[in-house]
Amino acid sequence: MAVEYISKLYKAFEVVESKIYNTLLDGSEESFDILESTIFKDLSVIDLMELYRKEMDLISELKFPVFKNELKRLRSFPQVSHYENGISTFVCFIVYWIWHNRLDLSRGEIAKIIESKYFGTLGYRLIDIQHDSNLLGVEVIYLGNYLIHYHEHLLTEVFGIKDTSEIINKYFLMYSEVEYFEKKNRWKSCPFSWDKPEKLGYKGAPFFSTIELLFRFSGMEETKKSELIKGLIAFTAAIQMMDDISDAKEDLINGIESLVMSGFYKKYGKSTKLTDELINQFLNQERMTLFYNTTQNLFDIARKNFIQNNDEIFLLCLEIYNYRFNRRIELSTLN
């Protein structure tokens, strides 16, 4: 499966390998211009995103005929479809990392990793949306759990059950810890702090399972593996900050006070009618400056880590997200 997608992905990868971007990318405005004018075209970002979605449509119909119509319904929700674009970007760079590091994995095994990443993330996302908003229907919890188990099954087929089970349990505990405290603090003050924002990166823990399995498969030494995971945690924390500010109103409606909105309930109470005007009033210049500096610092921590560990693929992925973050901030200040 995913044959056409993998073929097109490899063509984009060959372009990536033939050019040296990373000496030009440092999070500056000039590097963002390079991303906009050159790299997005080289990577076929939009084309790959659309093709990935089409191939996952086909796989969903073939692998889950019982849930075919339900998956189609669920994927039509903006809260779900928005995340599919993010999955597509990460999948590209996971596969680029495999090829760049010359890992001895067949196209069939790579296809399983691609599929696993998609359905695992979708499963976690469905459960999270339902727990937070009760929007999708309680039966979705069972479908989400099945998709997560299917994602784990695919990884065991590629990497073997012993290594896979150990690593999945390790990162599921990390994920459960952060979700537990967030849900426990529903309608209460935010359980995260501005001085330790990296903990938000634990929400991406299921993604780290695949990454650490690849690190282990590549024979990477333990010290480097541990350091890169720290960088990836900072990176995913920055992405979570971006998501949280986009979802600020929706989260508050559902009783979740994210770090971005920490202190909101104390200032306005829990029964206050939530309006865009009130949200914007809370997100004043001082708060937005704190948000920007914290998020950019997380990107900078991850960038330094990837440079020190000579990981060009993760660095390129980070620069794309850092670009999106800064462009989003620019647009918000113009509106």
> What tokens does 323 get?
């670009």
Tell me the domain boundaries of the chain: 1-159, 186-335
- DSSP string of 137-179, one letter each residue: -TTHHHHHHHHHHHHHHHHHHHH-HHHHHHHHHHHHHHHHHHH
Element (H, E) at 71: helix 68-75
pLDDT in tens, the chain (335 residues): 577 889 988 988 888 787 655 555 666 666 666 666 666 676 666 778 888 888 888 888 889 888 888 988 888 888 787 777 778 888 989 999 999 999 999 999 999 999 999 999 999 999 988 888 888 889 999 999 999 999 999 999 999 998 899 999 999 999 999 999 999 999 999 999 999 999 999 998 888 999 999 999 999 999 999 999 999 999 999 999 999 999 999 999 999 999 999 999 999 998 889 999 999 999 999 999 999 999 999 999 999 999 999 998 999 889 889 988 988 877 665 45
- Please tell me the distance from the alpha carbon of residue 255 to that of residue 183, in angstroms, as a whole number: 9
- Please tell me the distance from the alpha carbon of residue 305 to that of residue 303, in angstroms, as a whole number: 5
- Please tell me the distance from the alpha carbon of residue 56 to that of residue 61, in angstroms, as a whole number: 9
Contact 88, 144 (CB under 8 A): no
